[in-house]
């Protein structure tokens, strides 16, 4: 009788396990309807975990992560379907990597360009939704919306690449915006060499401005633009300045995170 009871118990146990397995599988299948795939969920989770595991400094970055005589090239206000590809061509010609500070709606409108920038090994930077240079006078709720909405737009357009920096329009940082950006994985990014390419001067003037400012800076971050207007002069000046910088012994890195 004991033996028979053991056999019957085993049969009952196996049957129960099978029923539980079916119920669990059904529940899992139901829970995944309309939701992200396992790979997608793991990708999002790993990106959030990576940000949480690596705190970002909330001070404004200027120095380069590359030792020695080094520059950071930064490109603002794009992506633009006319000028961004031309800037990318020049950077590729001289094997230079840059940080592209993108406006959220521009990134949303041109996801192919955002992906192209990321695929070429350049870094992404949040330059807000509206490029409001008076952001430092706005309430925290407005700053938060401008920064976080742009970050989502850029990362969605990039197809997974992380936005690693935040640059306030016109340098209008606040202690709140810097901490908010850092808490979301973005190091605030400044500049200390302004090419003034947005002022509409000649290529020679842009070139002279950058050459004149570089010797007085340590680990400088140089500001150019690929959006917001006709950037033909920017493209031409980069085509002159990058080989000149290399001839002066400069290397190229990314801002410190």
In this prediction, residue 219 carries a pLDDT of: 61
Spatial separation of the C-alpha atoms in residues 173 and 188, rounded to whole Å: 8
Is residue 225 part of the annotated active site? The answer reads yes
Residue 48 — very low, low, confident or very high, per pLDDT cuts 50/70/90? Answer: low
Residue 154 neighbours by CB under 8 Å, 6+ apart? 102, 104, 107, 114, 124, 126, 163
Spatial separation of the C-alpha atoms in residues 242 and 237, rounded to whole Å: 8
Cα four-point dihedral sign 51, 56, 58, 59: negative
- Dmax over Cα atoms in the chain, in whole Å? 102
- The catalytic position among 77, 225, 226, 236 is 225
In this prediction, residue 158 carries a pLDDT of: 98
Residue 218 — very low, low, confident or very high, per pLDDT cuts 50/70/90? Answer: low
The predicted model scores a pTM of 0.81
Mean residue pLDDT of the chain comes to: 84
Confidence check: pLDDT of 38 > 50: no
Is residue 76 part of the annotated active site? The answer reads yes
Q: Which helix (H) or strand (E) holds 138?
A: none
Alpha helices in 54-166 (DSSP H): 83-93, 104-109, 111-119, 140-158
Residue 50 — very low, low, confident or very high, per pLDDT cuts 50/70/90? Answer: low
In this prediction, residue 47 carries a pLDDT of: 53
Of 238 and 52, more confident: 238
Residue 237 neighbours by CB under 8 Å, 6+ apart? 195, 197, 203, 206, 207, 210, 224
Least reliable range by pLDDT among 22-26, 68-72, 80-84, 193-197: 22-26
Cα four-point dihedral sign 208, 209, 213, 219: negative
Tokens, residue 241? 């300045």
Average pLDDT over residues 219-248: 95
* Model pLDDT for residues 107-156, shown as the tens digit of each residue: 999 999 999 999 999 999 999 999 999 999 999 999 999 999 999 999 99
In whole angstroms, how large is the CA radius of gyration of the chain? 25
- The catalytic position among 76, 80, 126, 197 is 76
Residue 191 neighbours by CB under 8 Å, 6+ apart? 62, 74, 171, 220, 221, 222, 223
Least reliable range by pLDDT among 40-44, 70-74, 216-220: 40-44
Of 182 and 218, more confident: 182
Tokens, residue 102? 């993108």
Spatial separation of the C-alpha atoms in residues 136 and 97, rounded to whole Å: 30
């Amino acid at each position: 009788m004991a033996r028979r009871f053991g056999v019957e118990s085993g049969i009952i146990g196996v049957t129960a396990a099978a029923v539980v397995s079916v119920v669990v599988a059904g529940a899992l299948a139901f829970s995944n309807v309309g939701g992200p795939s396992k790979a997608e969920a793991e990708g999002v989770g790993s990106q959030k975990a990576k940000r949480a595991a690596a705190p970002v400094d909330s001070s404004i970055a200027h120095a380069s992560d590359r030792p020695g005589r080094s520059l950071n090239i930064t490109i603002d206000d794009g992506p633009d379907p006319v000028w961004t590809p031309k800037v990318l061509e020049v950077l590729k010609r001289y094997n230079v990597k840059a940080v592209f500070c993108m406006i959220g709606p521009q990134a949303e409108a041109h996801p192919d360009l955002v992906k192209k920038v990321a695929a070429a090994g350049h870094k992404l930077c949040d330059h807000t939704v509206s490029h409001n240079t008076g952001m430092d006078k706005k309430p925290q709720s407005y700053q938060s919306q401008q920064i976080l909405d742009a970050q989502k737009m850029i990362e969605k357009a990039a197809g997974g690449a992380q936005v690693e920096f935040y640059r306030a329009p016109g340098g209008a940082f606040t202690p709140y915006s810097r901490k908010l950006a850092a808490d979301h994985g973005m190091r605030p990014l400044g500049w200390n060499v302004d090419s003034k390419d947005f002022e509409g001067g000649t290529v020679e003037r842009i070139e002279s401005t950058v050459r004149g400012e570089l010797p007085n800076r340590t680990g400088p971050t140089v500001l150019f633009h690929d959006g917001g207007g006709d950037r033909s002069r920017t493209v031409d000046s980069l085509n002159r300045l990058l080989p000149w910088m290399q001839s002066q012994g400069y290397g190229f890195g990314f801002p410190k995170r």
